[in-house]
Amino acid sequence: MKLRLLVIGRGSRELSEFEARFLERLKPFAACQVIELPEGRGKQVSQRKQEEAKQILKHAGSGFVLFDERGLLNGSKQWAGHLGSLAGDAQLDFVIGGADGVADEVRRAAGACWSLSRLTLPHQLVRAVVLEQLYRAFTIIQGHPYHRV
81 annotated to bind ligand = no
Q: Which helix (H) or strand (E) holds 90?
A: none
121 annotated to bind ligand = yes
- In order, the DSSP letters of 92-107 are EEEEE-BTTB--HHHH
Q: Give how far Cα 46 sits from Cα of 27, 39, 50, 51, 53, Å.
A: 37, 13, 6, 9, 10
73 annotated to bind ligand = no
120 has which bridge partners?
Answer: none
Q: What is the DSSP letter of 60?
A: P
116 annotated to bind ligand = yes
139 annotated to bind ligand = no
57 annotated to bind ligand = no
Alpha helices in the chain (DSSP H): 16-26, 45-59, 76-84, 104-109, 123-142
117 annotated to bind ligand = yes
Binding-site residues from annotation: 97, 116-121
Binding-site residues from annotation for S-adenosyl-L-methionine: 97, 116-121
